[in-house]
């Protein structure tokens, strides 16, 4: 019997197939931000889960990636696509995530990017939306004809349905080797990054469909004072009209964004947080490759 298993698992797919929700469900923590809008995930986010699978101590190192962009070619989308390709470069297993009943050209484009010779699992997500369970079978047969997959796992990341089957399928493909991280490690991302992501998630969720995708969050100050995290953050937008949209009437929208983000941070960090947010106009930031690097985009 193996002493331990450990490996890196890339989670890839087109936008909005549920990659971040899947990783969060697998590690049991709301680490990677989610919303119903495309482009919510803009960075590679690493999530670590360590548990025993079939009597073997196993460390799963998931890498959540942005949805691969095929429609737009600004600097931000090019940066996100590079993050996907980088994640695929040196992994032990790839999870190709698609939606039940939908096999689109964008899905096939992502599948083409998956290198041969790396164990590949097709994850058919959102099966909870099916009215009848047997409706999934014809689609699974269609998927199986696209590539020689090591496993095909239908599941619902939203309801955690069948996640254990995915854990077992992935564990069987991981190499026998010592853990890369301490058993209590959740991610390699610093709290400053996680704080910015919590604010950005609230922007996507609370501002509505009119939210422009040309907004991002910069942490200007992150300090711990007498056990309390003090965070100052700037929300960068492309136009003055976007600024007014986020602030809202009487500042109520921005207050709600800050309040809900602060509550999420306190749960994640396990301590008190003082958060202050401002909205600033910085035109053209999403199409400025140099500026994107200074803002933390890889």
Distance set, CA 282 to CA 158, 266, 285 (Å) = 36, 29, 6
68 is in an annotated binding site: yes
66 is in an annotated binding site: yes
17 is in an annotated binding site: yes
92 is in an annotated binding site: no
64 is in an annotated binding site: yes
Beta strand 228-237 pairing with 215-225? antiparallel
15 is in an annotated binding site: yes
48 is in an annotated binding site: no
161 is in an annotated binding site: no
Nearest Cα residue to 22 out of 145, 189, 170, 211: 170
State the angle between helix axes of 252-269 and 191-206 in degrees (0 to 180), rounded to the nearest 10: 140
Question: What 8-state DSSP symbol labels residue 101?
Answer: T
Distance CA(200)–CA(196), nearest Å, equals 6
State the Cα torsion 197-215-62-7 to the nearest 10°: -110
125 is in an annotated binding site: yes
Distance CA(76)–CA(286), nearest Å, equals 5
* Annotated binding-site positions for GTP: 13-20, 64-68, 125-128
**Known binding residues:** 13-20, 64-68, 125-128
């Amino acid at each position: 019997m193996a002493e331990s298993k450990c490996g890196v698992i890339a989670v890839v797919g087109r936008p909005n197939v549920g990659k971040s929700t899947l990783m969060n469900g697998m590690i049991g923590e709301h680490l990677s931000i989610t919303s119903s809008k495309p482009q919510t995930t803009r960075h590679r986010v690493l999530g670590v889960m360590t548990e025993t699978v079939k009597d073997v101590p196993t460390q799963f190192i998931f890498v959540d990636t942005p949805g691969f962009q095929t429609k737009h070619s600004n600097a931000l989308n090019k940066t996100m696509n590079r993050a996907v390709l980088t994640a695929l470069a040196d992994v032990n297993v790839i999870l190709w995530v698609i939606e039940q009943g939908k096999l689109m050209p964008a899905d096939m484009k992502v599948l083409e990017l998956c290198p041969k010779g790396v164990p590949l699992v097709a994850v058919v997500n959102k099966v909870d939306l099916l009215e009848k369970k047997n409706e999934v079978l014809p689609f699974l047969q269609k998927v199986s004809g696209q590539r020689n997959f090591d496993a095909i796992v239908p599941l619902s990341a939203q309801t955690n349905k069948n996640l254990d089957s995915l854990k077992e399928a992935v564990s069987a493909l991981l190499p026998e080797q010592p853990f890369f991280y301490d058993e209590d490690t959740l991610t390699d991302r610093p709290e400053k990054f996680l704080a910015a992501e919590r604010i950005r998630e609230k922007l996507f969720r609370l501002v509505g469909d009119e939210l422009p995708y040309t907004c991002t969050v910069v942490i200007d100050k992150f300090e711990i004072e007498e056990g309390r995290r003090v965070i100052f953050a700037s929300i960068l937008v492309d136009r003055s009209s976007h600024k007014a949209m986020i602030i809202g009437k009487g500042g109520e929208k921005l207050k709600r964004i800050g309040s809900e983000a602060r509550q999420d941070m306190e749960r994640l960090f396990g301590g008190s947080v003082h958060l202050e947010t401002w909205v600033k106009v910085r035109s053209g930031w999403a199409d400025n490759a140099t500026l994107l690097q200074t803002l933390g985009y890889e």
